[in-house]
């Protein structure tokens, strides 16, 4: 059976520290657009920590919700792409083929979660930061869409290693950058087709819910609801 | 019809082709300059990066797609109206059809530019075309953008044919009336037209076929443009009313553009004897009907949304109704209904000037409508954290201005090269052919009794 990659986000555990955002930028060669462009709402955070305030002062509560591509099974971004740049892989990922993208940005409009980002300019890294680029991830040029891949380069590498060593992948062997860097262990990644994996177990939890589930997009990310009030 | 009338028609309508004043060159230079600046603005955007436009997360479509929908809408003036008027054999159509059909051809060309201008990598636009290639990659036929490509190219081909067919006898006329370079030029365009009975018959049947075929194509084009929005599961877009709503809006703005173009032609080419107040009166009535239809669609769409009371739909609803976009929204209602309705419903006000004022207001209003369909929705999608805003960038504004200049430029040059009113159709309307077959006698008797 092919793998079906999924993730769970435990909202009780998330502290909103933003380590996942930083790790994602570093792992995936995401351009840092600078203050001027960021003020124009052009920052590209493949994963973002949404911050919601509840209640009136002084009785205010702060809630965090990390949102990344939900890797929908019925993804609205896929049918609208005229060039198949946005397409579904055998392992259920919403892949984005940068070389095939012509930048209609239709996928981003169709995406209910707004987790797709557009390269408004060619990326630039101030020296010597250009030396820290990840060689496993392509750098995107101006005019293409990009988005969370569940760190597909790490998935592929682990699959190739396992195949070379003639063994099955172990649960927890693959960790996307956000999962790896989450000090509170709020994020869990794994194979949803393996009923024994931790991610499968957590997704079946009664606390589990999908983001905007009512739209019928069948996301593969499950949010575990808060139980405590901090 | 007297010979004198025929001569007067020929002389009046060929005058712009044969005599050119300095005003023409000045107009072409000014309009051409603005178009050139639009081109420079586009190159500037490509050179420096798409960020020079005002697009930002999450409003990824803005002025370019607004202008795309707007110009494709304007293109519904010509061919559709002309085809309907031809099929119902409305006699008053004769001086109107060609200037209407030209709007279609040019507005489509301008509109079709925008999906390319708005691409992040416009140099790869041909990937939308299903061309044979080594890697056997086809476009994604599930994407409404690919449907757009087919719809617009079909409509453009059809309406250019529909425009060219009735021009052939007029080209022959110009060929016969001129000498030298013009004779050669128009002789080539006339495709060997001799005016034989057989040729007339073929022309008539070809035009009949095109008139029938172009109507469903026109309706489908704007329906497919509306599908660009309604196929996405986004609040305010995902609606079954969008197809007919867009088609009605397109015809609405198209008639307005036609009235403005006709008034300009009437004034600058001195065609008062051909474009009578009655033409404006009739088109004004059509515009009035479309204004009412537009108001009905807006009312139906708004009321359904309000009663449905979906959380995310209501966010978009209130953003336009009394939020940040409400000044534009209410300006749209004023422009599309409050101004044109009284002007066009009172006979005293339905003059040439009145119709032009109403039409200008409708063009502004319909542009705003396209903008308000796109931007408020994209800036108010489901997750409140990801709400955003949009301000157009300088290239977007410059390119938009340049498209209006491009329309004026193409129209000016066209009316210099081709009789803007169909000479032979005008003559047929008043006078049967010198040598008639039995079928023609019958046909012209019908034409005479139904002016």
Q: Residues A110-158: pLDDT tens digits?
A: 999 999 999 999 998 888 888 999 999 999 999 999 999 999 999 999 9
B430 pLDDT more than 80: no
Distance from CA of A169 to the nearest CA of B (A): 33
Assess if residue A133 is contained within a domain.
Answer: yes
CB contact under 8 A, B56 and A42: yes
Q: How confident is the model at residue B443 (pLDDT cuts 50, 70, 90)?
A: low
Q: Given A113, A119, A216, which is nearest B383 (Cβ)?
A: A113
Lowest mean pLDDT among B40-44, B299-303, B372-376, B418-422: B418-422
Contact A33, A195 (CB under 8 A): no
Per the rule left: phi > 0, alpha: psi between -120 and 50, beta: everything else, A171 is beta
pLDDT at position B432, please?
Answer: 44
Please tell me the predicted confidence (pLDDT) of residue B93.
86
Residue A19 and residue A64 in contact, taking contact as beta carbons nearer than 8 Å? no
Least confident interval from A61-70, A166-175, B265-274, B341-350 = B265-274
Please, what is the end-to-end C-alpha distance for chain B in angstroms? Answer: 14
- For the segment B348-360, the average pLDDT, to the nearest whole number, is 94
Q: Which of B46, B50, B54, B60 is the mutation pick for testing A, counting most A CBs within 10 A?
A: B60
Within 13 A of B374's CA, how many CA atoms are on the CB side? Answer: 26
DSSP letters of A25-40?
HHHTT-----HHHHHT
Contact A118 B125 (CB under 8 A): no
Interface test with B, best of A44, A74, A80 (most B CBs within 10 A): A80
* Chain A residue whose CA is closest to B238: A110
Interface contact B57-A117, CB threshold 8 A:
yes
The lowest-confidence range among A198-207, B76-85, B291-300, B305-314 is B76-85
Residue B292 has pLDDT above 90, yes or no: yes
A229 is a domain residue: no
Nearest chain B Cα distance for residue A104, angstroms:
5
Angle between the N-to-C axes of helices B197-230 and B242-268, in degrees from 0 to 180, rounded to the nearest 10: 130
- Quick one: pLDDT at residue B431? 47
Residue A230 covered by a domain: no
Backbone phi and psi for residue B272, each to the nearest 5 degrees, phi listed first: -60, -30
d(CA B368, CA B370): 5
- Chain A nearest-CA distance from B167, in A, is 37
Select the residue of A37, A50, A81 nearest B383 (Cβ to Cβ).
Answer: A50
Confidence of residue B450 (pLDDT cuts 50, 70, 90): low
Task: Please name the member of B119, B120, B233 whose beta carbon is closest to the beta carbon of A215.
Answer: B233
Whether B212 has a pLDDT exceeding 60, the answer reads: yes
Residues 60-99 of A with CB under 8 A from B: 65, 67, 76, 79-84
Question: B45 to chain A: which residues are within 8 Å by CB?
Answer: none
- CA dist A120 to A195, B371, B407, Å? 42, 22, 30
The CA-to-CA distance between both ends of chain A, in Å, stands at 42
Written as six digits, the tokens of B389 are: 């805003």
CA distance B312 to B235: 6
- At residue B224, the pLDDT reads 95
pLDDT computed for residue A159 by the predictor: 94
Whether the per-residue pLDDT at B445 is higher than 70: the answer is no
Give the model's pLDDT for residue A54.
86
The residue of chain A with its CA nearest to that of B114 is: A104
Does residue A93 sit within a domain?
A: yes
The pTM for the full model equals: 0.92
Residue A204: inside a domain: yes
> CA-to-CA distance for A80 and B61, rounded, in angstroms?
14
> pLDDT tens digits for B294-318?
999 999 999 999 999 999 999 999 9
Please tell me the distance in Å from A130's CA to the nearest CA on chain B: 20
pLDDT higher than 70, residue B448: no
Interface-testing mutation among A99, A102, A144, with chain B (most B C-beta atoms within 10 A): A102
Instruction: Return left, alpha or beta for A213; rule: phi > 0 is left, psi -120 to 50 is alpha, else beta.
Output: alpha
* Residue pLDDT, tens place only, B229-269: 999 999 999 999 999 999 999 999 999 999 999 999 999 88
Is the pLDDT reported for residue B440 higher than 70?
A: no
B258 by Cβ neighbours in 10 Å (0-12 / 13-18 / 19+) ranks as: buried
User: Average pLDDT of chain B?
Assistant: 90
Q: Using DSSP, state whether A161 is helix, strand or coil.
A: helix
Cα dist from A56 to A228, B311, B329, whole Å: 19, 22, 32
Q: How many domains does chain A have?
A: 1
Show the domain range for A15: 5-224
Q: What is the pLDDT of residue A229?
A: 60
B311-318: Cβ within 8 A, 24+ apart: B312/B235, B312/B380, B312/B381, B312/B382, B313/B235, B313/B236, B315/B235, B315/B380, B315/B384, B316/B235, B316/B236, B316/B376, B316/B377, B316/B380, B317/B236
Residue ranges of chain B whose CB lies within 8 Å of a chain A CB: 48-51, 55-58, 60-61, 115, 118-122, 124-125, 127-128, 137, 139-140, 142-146, 149, 228, 231-234, 378, 381-386, 388-389
The domain that contains A70 carries what CATH number?
Answer: 3.30.70.20
Q: What is the mean pLDDT of residues B156-175?
A: 92
Strand partners, A65: A50
8 Å CB contact between B339 and B354 = no
Evaluate whether B255 touches B261 at the Cβ level (below 8 Å). no
Q: Quick one: pLDDT at residue B31?
A: 97
Helix axes B352-379, B242-268, angle to 10 degrees: 140
Q: Is residue A147 part of a domain?
A: yes
Q: Structural domains in chain B?
A: 57-129+147-389 (1.20.1630.10)
Count of residues in chain A: 230
């Amino acid at each position: 059976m092919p793998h079906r990659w999924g993730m769970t986000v435990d909202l009780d555990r998330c502290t909103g520290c933003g380590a996942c955002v930083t790790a994602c930028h570093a792992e995936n060669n995401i351009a840092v657009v600078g203050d001027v462009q960021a003020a124009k709402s052009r920052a590209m955070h493949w994963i973002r920590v949404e911050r919601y305030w509840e209640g009136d002062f002084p009785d205010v509560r702060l809630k965090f919700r990390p949102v990344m591509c939900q890797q929908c099974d019925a993804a609205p971004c896929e049918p609208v792409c005229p060039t198949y740049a946005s397409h579904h892989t055998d392992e259920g990922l919403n892949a984005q083929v940068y070389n095939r993208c012509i930048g209609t940005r239709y996928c981003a409009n169709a995406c209910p979660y707004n987790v797709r980002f557009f390269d408004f300019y060619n990326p630039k890294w101030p020296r010597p930061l250009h030396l820290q680029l990840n060689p496993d991830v392509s750098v995107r040029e101006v005019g293409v869409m990009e988005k969370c891949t569940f760190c597909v380069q790490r998935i592929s590498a682990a699959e190739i290693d396992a195949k070379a060593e003639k063994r099955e992948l172990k649960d927890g062997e693959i960790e996307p950058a956000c999962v790896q860097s989450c000090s509170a262990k709020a994020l869990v990644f794994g194979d949803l087709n393996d009923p024994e994996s931790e991610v499968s177990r957590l997704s079946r939890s009664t606390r589990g819910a999908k983001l905007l589930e009512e739209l019928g997009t069948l996301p593969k990310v499950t949010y575990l609801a808060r139980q405590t009030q901090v | 019809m007297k010979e004198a009338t025929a001569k007067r028609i020929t002389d009046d309508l060929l005058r712009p082709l044969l005599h050119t004043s300095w005003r023409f060159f000045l107009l072409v230079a000014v309009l051409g300059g603005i178009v050139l600046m639009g081109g420079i603005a586009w190159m500037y955007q490509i050179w420096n990066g798409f960020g020079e436009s005002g697009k930002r997360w999450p409003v990824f479509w803005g002025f370019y797609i607004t202008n795309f929908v707007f110009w494709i809408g304007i293109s519904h003036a010509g061919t559709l109206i002309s085809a309907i008027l031809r099929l119902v054999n409305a006699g008053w159509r004769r001086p109107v059809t060609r200037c209407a059909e030209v709007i279609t051809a040019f507005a489509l060309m301008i509109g079709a530019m925008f999906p390319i201008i708005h691409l992040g990598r416009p140099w790869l636009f041909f990937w939308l075309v299903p061309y044979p290639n080594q890697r056997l990659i086809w476009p994604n036929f599930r994407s409404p953008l690919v449907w757009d490509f087919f719809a617009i190219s079909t409509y453009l081909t059809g309406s250019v044919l529909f425009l060219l067919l009735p021009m052939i006898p007029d080209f022959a006329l110009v060929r016969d009336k001129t000498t030298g370079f013009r004779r050669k030029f128009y002789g080539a365009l006339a495709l060997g037209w001799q005016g034989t009975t057989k040729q007339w018959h073929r022309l008539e049947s070809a035009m009949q076929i095109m008139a029938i075929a172009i109507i469903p194509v026109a309706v489908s084009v704007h329906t497919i443009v509306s599908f660009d929005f309604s196929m996405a599961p986004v609040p305010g877009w995902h609606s079954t009313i969008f197809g007919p709503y867009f088609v009605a809006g397109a015809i609405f703005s198209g008639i307005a553009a036609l009235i403005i173009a006709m008034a300009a032609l009437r004034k600058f080419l001195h065609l008062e004897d051909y474009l009578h107040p009655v033409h404006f009166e009739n088109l004004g009535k059509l515009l009035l009907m479309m204004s009412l239809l537009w108001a009905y669609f807006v009312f139906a769409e708004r009321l359904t949304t309000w009663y449905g009371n979906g959380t995310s739909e209501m966010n978009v609803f209130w953003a336009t109704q009394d939020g940040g976009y409400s000044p534009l929204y209410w300006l749209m209602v004023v422009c599309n209904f409050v101004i044109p309705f009284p002007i066009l419903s009172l006979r005293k006000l339905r003059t040439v000037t009145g119709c032009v004022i109403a039409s200008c207001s409708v063009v502004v209003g319909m542009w705003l409508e396209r903008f308000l369909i796109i931007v408020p929705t994209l800036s108010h999608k489901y997750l409140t954290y990801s709400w955003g805003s949009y301000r157009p960038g300088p290239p977007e504004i410059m390119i938009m201005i340049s498209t209006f200049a491009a329309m004026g430029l193409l129209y000016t040059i066209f009316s210099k090269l081709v009789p803007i009113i169909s000479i032979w159709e005008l003559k047929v309307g008043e006078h049967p052919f010198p040598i008639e077959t039995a079928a023609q006698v019958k046909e012209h008797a019908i034409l005479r009794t139904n002016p």
